[in-house]
Amino acid sequence: MFETILVERRDGIATVTLNRPAALNAINRTMYRELEAAFRALAADPATRVVVLTGAGERAFAAGADISEFAALQTEEDVLAYEEQVEAMLSALEQLGKPVIARIRGVATGGGCSLAAACDLRIASDDARIGIPIARTLGNCLPLGTLARLVDLIGPGHTKALLFTGRLLSAAEALAIGYLTDVSPVAALDARVAELAHQLASHAPRTLWATKEGIRRLAAARRPVDGRDLLLACYLSADFREGVGAFLEKRPPVWTGR
């Protein structure tokens, strides 16, 4: 049993639901731990052929990380332990040797956008909004593993535009740059996701596993090893403290570059 997620299995398809709808499914540290555990359990389950990852409710796939927990990031050890926990969950998702489909309804922002980017396929409703607005909200930065996933998915130019502007993309825009695999009308979203999940579940499991694992290894070979200095320079800055405070106080941040 989990506190923050639901896991359901049926006909070879496991559905993992981020289950904090009152918080727009914001990902807290408990959810990071539970997602990692769920992904590792599903990887070891021979009856599971495909995984669908979604968010509870109609408003959000996941509206980023739980910002209320960021006030506790006071030291280098705090920052690095937090980002290591995030990366452990995303690595478990990437290493899950079965196709993972992100079903996106509503917003997928910040950590939600990064989580969906680590999935294999992404299908969104046509009213979805997608982006990583940290340049205008929090003043932190992405770890290099997450940055590399975005670059692999949409290229360096679109990654810079996404992060520099902090703009939320429409579903049509996210499809055009290659972030999304498909866009569906809201009323047809569940049917479209189910159709794809059942199609993949009927295919040769070893072919799907070898394809996913081969691409993961190719990507891992190109990824940088260490970006801790970048994380610390942002998370321990005065601007990050200002960004978190402004977010929680629902006011515009005042950046100083310090």
**CA 147, 246, 233: angle at the middle one, nearest 5?**
40
pLDDT of residue 223: 72
Partners of 33 in the β-ladder: none
Distance CA 11, CA 48 (A): 8
Per-residue pLDDT of the chain (258 residues; tens, 9 = 90+): 899 999 999 999 999 999 999 999 999 999 999 999 999 999 999 999 999 999 999 999 999 999 999 989 999 999 999 999 999 999 999 999 999 999 999 999 999 999 999 999 999 999 999 999 999 999 999 999 999 999 999 999 999 999 999 999 999 999 999 999 999 999 999 999 999 999 999 999 999 999 999 999 998 887 767 889 999 999 999 999 999 999 999 999 999 999
pTM beyond 0.85:
yes
pLDDT of residue 222: 78
pLDDT of residue 215: 94
In 3D space, the residue among 171, 51, 65, 31 whose CA is nearest the CA of residue 101 turns out to be: 51
Residue range 5-187 forms a domain whose CATH class is: alpha beta
Where in the chain are the domains? 5-187
Q: Which two tokens stand for residue 206?
A: 């070893």
pLDDT of residue 151: 95
Instruction: Say if residues 116 and 104 touch (Cβ distance below 8 Å).
Output: yes
HEC per residue, the chain: CCCCEEEEEECCEEEEEECCHHHCCCECHHHHHHHHHHHHHHHCCCCCCEEEEEECCCCEEEECECHHHHHHCCCHHHHHHHHHHHHHHHHHHHHCCCCEEEEECCEEECHHHHHHHCCCEEEEECCCEEECCHHHHCCCCCCHHHHHHHHHHHHHHHHHHHHHHCCCEEHHHHHHCCCCCEEECHHHHHHHHHHHHHHHHCCCHHHHHHHHHHHHHHHHHHCCCCCHHHHHHHHCCHHHHHHHHHHHHCCCCCCCCC
